[in-house]
Chains A and B, each alone.
Chain A
């Protein structure tokens, strides 16, 4: 199947035009994938009680599909799957739906990005999910400290997001992250290359980060 044959393109185009019939088609075809994303978000928040409640889980999944519907106009064919592309907005919606805390993220730099359009308050995937990951895997905490030891806060966030998208299988993380932060994809790649080199310099120079020297992210 070529990229243009992918049924998701037609469905997303229909949703971008505001046609609710294609929202139904999206839920019918991809609802289980969105549910999986919602489920993983809930698990990350420790809300296993909701995960076990099928009706509540499906309600949140339908809310998440609405999130994708409202944002469909910004999605680009060939990019990340819509449920990955809109992950941050879905997570914010889930958090709001269940009353989970959200974190202010907006800065002047991302005023015009998708983050900025989200009413000024967004859930920070990196901050919240990383907190869980760091608790479970101390090495992630060391990695986080290394990444946040150099560059501006925005560069650190872009770098983390880029790596997270890459890790989730996004075939074009620079486009996804660029759209989110209002940056050109080339700039995202350049920023991440530069930030990665700076992090690597710190890792090689500072014994506190010695355990990261074999980390695949910084190889070559």
Chain B
């Protein structure tokens, strides 16, 4: 059975963060997906990534730009199999559009 495209799943999650007013919704959703792929709670994921939980929380809230995601989270995003370029492109596109009311 074919898997669901992780890029589509992340885009959908990003749409929700964007609607909630997150400044970097795509990187936020990607960070959430990275942890989901690892099947870990925030505390465990932060510990394994050697990051403060607050950094993981900020990233998942969509407060951290794609290019500023910690390397460990970035590699987690890559492990999901999502198309990083497509996600970065979406983030860029949304940034250039007026915010959702």
Interfacial residues, chain A to chain B (CB-CB below 8 A) = 7, 10-11, 14, 19-25, 27-28, 31-33, 35-36, 58, 61-62
Q: Which of B35-43, B64-72, B85-93 contacts A (4 or more CB under 8 A)?
A: B35-43
Interface of A is mostly: helix
Q: Is B13 an interface residue (CB 8 A)?
A: yes
Q: How far is the CA of A116 from the CA of B35 in the complex (A)?
A: 34
Is the pair A62, B3 in contact by a Cβ cutoff of 8 Å? no
Q: Is B95 an interface residue (CB 8 A)?
A: no
Q: Mark B26-68, 1 if CB is under 8 A from A, else 0.
A: 0000001101110111100000000000000000100000000
Q: How far is the CA of A10 from the CA of B39 in the complex (A)?
A: 8
Cross-chain contact of A28 among B3, B40, B60 (Cβ < 8 A): B3
CB distance from B54 to the nearest CB of A (A): 16
Name the CB-closest residue of B to A61: B4
Cross-chain contact of A62 among B12, B37, B41, B42 (Cβ < 8 A): B12
Is the pair A11, B9 in contact by a Cβ cutoff of 8 Å? no
Cross-chain contact of A7 among B3, B12, B35, B39 (Cβ < 8 A): B39
CB distance from B82 to the nearest CB of A (A): 10
Is the pair B13, A20 in contact by a Cβ cutoff of 8 Å? yes
Q: A28 with B37: in contact, given A20-B32, A21-B32 (CB under 8 Å)?
A: yes
Is the pair B5, A32 in contact by a Cβ cutoff of 8 Å? no
Is the pair A58, B4 in contact by a Cβ cutoff of 8 Å? yes
Cross-chain contact of A21 among B4, B8, B36 (Cβ < 8 A): B36
Is the pair A32, B33 in contact by a Cβ cutoff of 8 Å? no
Quick one: which of A11, A14, A36 has the most chain B CB within 10 A? A14
Q: Find chain A residues with CB under 8 A from B80 CB.
A: 24, 28
Quick one: which of A11, A27, A58 has the most chain B CB within 10 A? A27
Q: How far is the CA of A180 from the CA of B85 in the complex (A)?
A: 44
CB distance from B85 to the nearest CB of A (A): 20
Q: How far is the CA of A7 from the CA of B36 in the complex (A)?
A: 13
Cross-chain contact of B33 among A11, A14, A21, A62 (Cβ < 8 A): A21
Q: A21 with B9: in contact, given A32-B1, A32-B2 (CB under 8 Å)?
A: no
Q: How far is the CA of A31 from the CA of B13 in the complex (A)?
A: 15
Q: A24 with B13: in contact, given A10-B39, A11-B39 (CB under 8 Å)?
A: yes
Q: How far is the CA of A24 from the CA of B12 in the complex (A)?
A: 11
Q: A24 with B9: in contact, given A11-B39, A19-B41 (CB under 8 Å)?
A: yes
Q: How far is the CA of A7 from the CA of B38 in the complex (A)?
A: 12
Q: How far is the CA of A32 from the CA of B2 in the complex (A)?
A: 6
Q: How far is the CA of A62 from the CA of B3 in the complex (A)?
A: 12
Cross-chain contact of A27 among B9, B35, B40 (Cβ < 8 A): B9
> Assuming A28-B4, A28-B6, A28-B9, what are 6 further A-B pairs, CB within 8 angstroms?
A21-B42, A25-B39, A28-B3, A32-B2, A35-B4, A62-B9
Is the pair A14, B41 in contact by a Cβ cutoff of 8 Å? yes
Is the pair B36, A35 in contact by a Cβ cutoff of 8 Å? no
Q: Find chain B residues with CB under 8 A from A33 CB.
A: 1
